[in-house]
Each structure stands twice: as structure tokens, then as C-alpha cells.
């Protein structure tokens, strides 16, 4: 009986909140092995010294191309920032490495361009704004509900260190809602903001509101209003471990894909 080899993973952004949690997840599983990490300014160090995890002696590289050339991993997991994430994904494509990208800031044109390249090389990859299974289910349920409740507002709440607003999760939720909801202007016909931005961002008439406060991690509430009723869909991540089931599932799934998928909901059974 043959035993499958563990998936060899490189993590870009290992000192970040999501990157460090991913490293710890890999350390606790037998089906993954941390092949290396990529972190600007720490070339030649060991992950165990960088994060204080004794059993991880994988090397840290500052150059993604040198890392992929020398290590030859199966999968790159990236939790960096938009510019680095796009650069790292391009390097992964160039070196034939499958990818799991949790970095936000990819436009539809970006995704289309990377997808075309990856299909030519039969490479699997996933870009996901959220890896929490519950959050993804809220997106899917919102898409279903919008067919019957076209009046909807999205409130996303995150920690005060998050740089983008609205969140990628909120944007993805709105995109899914758009597929089953006709554009509709909400609120009073003569509505007027006495403070600019009070009604939030406008997406085909629905509204998105962003909250940034210390103490929060990642939360989203989708409110649907109807005659005499209110439907509320909410998900709360109180700890970043909530994202790791999705990250692990994505890293396993890209090994079987030959294209780039945008959104974890597209690979859930």
C-alpha cells in the first residue's frame, strides 16, 4: 500500500497574522511539510528563530524566485499585501508552482490574466478573500436570499490594522448577490446624506459599511429587509484559527486543479 507524500508548502508572509497561523497549522499536520518561508529582510534565517517554533528549521528566503528555484515546492501560500501577492503569484506561475492566495486587492482583470496563464500551464490555484467556511456559507446564503429580498445592506467589521475597505469578503458577497438581484436604489427617493459617506459604499443600490476597531478580528453581517420582516445572516471569526480549515482544504484542492479559481465557495462540495 503506497503512502502519499506530504504536500511541500512555501509560506509567503510568515510573520503576519495569517501567515504565522498558517505556519502553525502546517506544523501540526502530517499531510503538509513547510519547505520554506519567504519574508523580505530575513534571508538565511530559520523559521524557528523567526517565529519561535522549535521544530521548524525551514529556511527563510527574501527573494521569491530564489526560493522557488532552490526549494521546488508543490504549493505557495501567500498572505502578504497586494503588490507582493501579485508578484509572488506571477513567480509561482513562472516556476510551475500551484498557489493559494489569501491576499486581497486582486481586480477582476488581474484574476482573468493570471487564470489565462495558469490554464496554459495546467496549474491549479485559488484566490480567496476569506477562508473561514462559515463566512463562505454566508456568502452563498446571501446569494440565495437576494432573489427574494432585493433590499440588502452589508456591514463588515475588522481589526483596526486592516488596510483595505471594504473587505474582500464584503466585495465578494456583493458580487454574488448581484448575480441574483436586479439593481435597485434603496432608501427614500429624496434621501440626502448630511454627512458624506453616512450611507456607505453604493453597489448597484445596495450599501456596504466598513467598521474598523481594535478587539475585532473578522466579522460580517448581511441584512435583508422585506415587508414586515428582516433576515440577518452573520458570521464571526473570533480567532484566526477559524481560517485554517479553509487554507488546508485549498492547499489540498489545488493539487487536483488545472486552472485558477476565485472564491472558496467554488471548490466546496
Total residue length of the chain = 269
Query: E-assigned strands of the chain?
Result: 7-12, 32-38, 59-61, 75-78, 98-101, 125-127, 151-158, 201-203, 206-212, 218-226, 229-237, 260-262
Q: Give the active site residue among 40, 81, 140, 162.
A: 162
C-alpha cell at 36: 520554506
Q: How far apart, in whole angstroms, are the C-alpha atoms of residue 13 and residue 89?
A: 13
Q: Give the active site residue among 86, 158, 209, 235.
A: 158
Q: How far apart, in whole angstroms, are the C-alpha atoms of residue 64 and residue 13?
A: 11
Q: How far apart, in whole angstroms, are the C-alpha atoms of residue 129 and residue 132?
A: 10
Q: Is 46 a catalytic residue?
A: no
3-state secondary structure of 50: helix
Please provide the distance, in angstroms rounded to a whole number, between the alpha carbons at the two ends of the chain.
28
Q: Is 184 a catalytic residue?
A: no
Q: How far apart, in whole angstroms, are the C-alpha atoms of residue 75 and residue 97?
A: 6
Q: Point out the residues that are catalytic.
A: 158, 162
Amino acid at each position: 500500500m503506497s503512502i502519499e507524500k506530504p504536500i511541500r508548502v512555501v509560506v509567503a508572509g510568515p510573520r503576519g497574522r495569517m501567515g504565522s497561523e498558517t505556519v502553525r497549522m502546517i506544523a501540526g499536520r502530517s499531510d503538509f511539510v513547510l519547505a520554506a518561508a519567504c519574508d523580505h529582510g530575513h534571508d538565511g534565517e530559520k523559521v524557528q528563530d523567526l517565529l519561535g517554533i522549535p521544530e521548524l528549521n525551514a529556511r527563510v528566503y527574501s527573494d521569491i524566485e530564489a526560493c522557488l528555484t532552490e526549494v521546488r515546492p508543490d504549493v505557495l501560500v501567500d498572505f502578504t499585501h497586494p503588490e507582493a501577492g501579485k508578484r509572488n503569484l506571477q513567480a509561482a506561475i513562472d516556476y510551475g508552482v500551484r498557489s493559494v492566495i489569501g491576499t486581497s486587492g486582486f481586480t477582476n482583470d488581474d484574476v482573468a490574466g493570471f487564470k489565462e496563464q495558469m490554464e496554459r500551464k495546467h496549474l491549479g490555484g485559488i484566490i480567496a478573500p476569506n477562508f473561514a467556511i462559515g463566512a463562505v456559507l454566508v456568502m452563498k446564503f446571501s446569494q440565495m436570499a437576494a432573489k427574494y429580498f432585493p433590499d440588502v445592506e452589508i456591514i463588515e467589521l475588522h481589526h483596526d490594522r486592516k488596510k483595505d475597505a471594504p473587505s474582500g469578503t464584503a466585495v465578494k458577497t456583493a458580487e454574488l448577490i448581484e448575480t441574483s438581484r436586479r439593481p435597485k436604489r434603496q432608501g427614500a427617493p429624496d434621501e440626502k446624506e448630511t454627512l458624506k459617506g453616512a450611507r456607505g459604499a453604493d453597489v448597484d443600490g445596495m450599501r456596504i459599511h466598513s467598521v474598523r476597531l481594535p478587539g475585532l478580528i473578522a466579522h460580517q453581517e448581511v441584512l435583508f429587509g422585506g415587508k414586515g420582516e428582516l433576515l440577518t445572516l452573520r458570521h464571526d471569526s473570533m480567532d484566526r484559527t477559524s481560517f485554517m480549515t479553509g487554507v488546508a482544504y485549498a492547499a489540498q484542492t489545488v493539487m487536483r486543479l488545472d486552472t485558477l479559481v476565485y472564491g472558496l465557495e467554488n471548490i466546496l462540495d
